[in-house]
Amino acid sequence: MSDIAILKQMIKETATVPLEFDDNNKKKVILREPDLPNCYVTINGMPDDHQVIIIKADQFKSPNTIFTGSKGECKRADFVIVADIDTKKVILFIEMKAKTKTSTEWEIIQQLKGAQCFVAYCQKIGQEFWRYPNFLESYVYRFVTIRNINIHKKPTREKITDDHDSPEQMLKVSSPHYLQFNRLIGGRK
């Protein structure tokens, strides 16, 4: 069984975002900021449904009944996209902000780290309860913050490299117009 198939058994459908089709019958996903319904971004060029799962990571209840939260450990990013495609196994962490100054960079880093901890928890669940010792191994991590979502859209021209592999080195996308999945994960296509 693939990692994606296990995650689709593990994660409730209500905590996921379905793929849609664009006008050219290609796959896309629309990510909506939970608290702001008019705040959304579209990621085009998504993999096939059996190769990807999009998780609303912030639906995982805050562990603030256990942890103090003094270091930001109770925060989570908005979305986690796990993809196992022919060329790469990638876990993409995405935090969305309606404006540039909604949160400090430190807060966004904590949210991305919290989502990374959520994935580590899922990994351990898959290893222990599904009995797949290599579950979610060999994946590369990519961290992205998308800002100024409600601002007039302009072409996204950020230089995207494979350097956004830690929360502190997140890719910062502003006023997104046309986001491509392969560019967000550092692909060359």
Condensed to tens digits (0 to 9), the pLDDT of residues 24-38 reads 999 999 999 877 778
pLDDT in tens, 132-186: 999 999 999 999 999 887 665 454 444 455 579 999 999 999 878 789 999 999 8
Number of domains in the chain: 1
pLDDT in tens, 51-97: 999 999 988 888 889 999 899 898 999 999 999 998 899 999 999 98
Q: Answer whether residue 28 is part of any domain.
A: yes
Q: Answer whether residue 92 is part of any domain.
A: yes
Q: Answer whether residue 97 is part of any domain.
A: yes
Give residue 124's pLDDT: 98
Give residue 35's pLDDT: 74
Q: Averaged over 98-107, what is the pLDDT?
A: 80
Q: Answer whether residue 189 is part of any domain.
A: no
CB within 8 Å of 38: residues ≥ 6 apart: 150
What pTM was estimated for this model as a whole?
A: 0.91
Residue 42 structural domain: 3-184
Of the chain, the end-to-end C-alpha distance in Å amounts to: 28
pLDDT in tens, 115-130: 999 999 999 999 999 9
Query: Cα–Cα–Cα angle for 169, 120, 127, nearest 5°?
Result: 145
State how far the Cα of 143 lies from the Cα of 111, in Å rounded to an integer. Answer: 11
**Sheet with 20-21: strands ordered across:** 20-21, 27-32, 40-44, 179-180
